[in-house]
Amino acid sequence: MIDYAKLPTEQHHPKARNLKLMSTREIIALMNQDNLAAISAIDRQKAQIEKAIGQMTQTLSTGGRIYFIGAGTSGRLGVIEAAEMPPTFGTSPLLVRAIMAGGNIAVFRSQEGAEDNKEKARILIEKKLRAIDLLIGVAASGVTPFVQGGLAAARKKKAGTILITCNKQKILAQTASTVIALDVRPEIISGSTRLKAGTVTKMALNILTTVTMVRLGKVDGNRMVDLQPKSKKLVDRGIRLVQEISGLPRIKAAKYYQRANRNVKLAVNLAKKS
């Protein structure tokens, strides 16, 4: 049985006990000060984050896929991360995916009871995951049954596992091969992990996916050369990237860009060969 009262995410913030008596500016200052804890928490977990990036890079470079699994805020953060990979780095939508407790409807409307459905997670993972894939559990408490059920099923399949949590209890080391424990202490509204727990989780996910894509050659310098130009802004950015990398005037860069079917890397190669 889980003793929820002892979870770090359920504790009371010592400076927020009289929140309703504080001025608006005082609450803003407290929240801003509180968010600084996210930076320190990331810094303390650099070694684990580096290890996780190694797993992610290895998975994708050897034909595997990455799945994020979570519930509530944590699940939605995984959905965001998966959704951003194709437009930012030109990856296939099948390469990085998300599994949300409660299904697609839970992305937009809370399905709180879904997080307790351990069996549903097991069924989904057994159906979707292969041994060469990687499952990243995202759970602020670290003990969400849906996430733990998914991780257990992934371990049974001998797939890679990572857990991102805000619970530093050592027992969680048994749940995944890499545990990133981001200790940000209690929220100003007790248990509301959409606050700094959500912030630090998003920061960690940004680092994990971005560095992984850098390692896989999805950027040139710091340029987003594999972007998918599906808006006017991104088309313009693509032309500017060709212009910057090739050194050509904009008009010529645009011609090569169109000839390459709006593929930055191909356009630059065509320009170099001309």
Q: Would you name the residues annotated as active-site residues?
A: 84, 115
CA distance 198 to 173: 21
Q: How many CB atoms lie within 10 A of CB 130?
A: 11
* Residues 154 and 127: beta-carbon distance below 8 Å: no
Buried b (16+ CB within 10 A) or exposed e, 44-67: ebeebbebbbebbbebbeeebbbb
Residue 67's φ and ψ, nearest 5 degrees, are -120, 135
83 Cα distance to chain centroid = 10
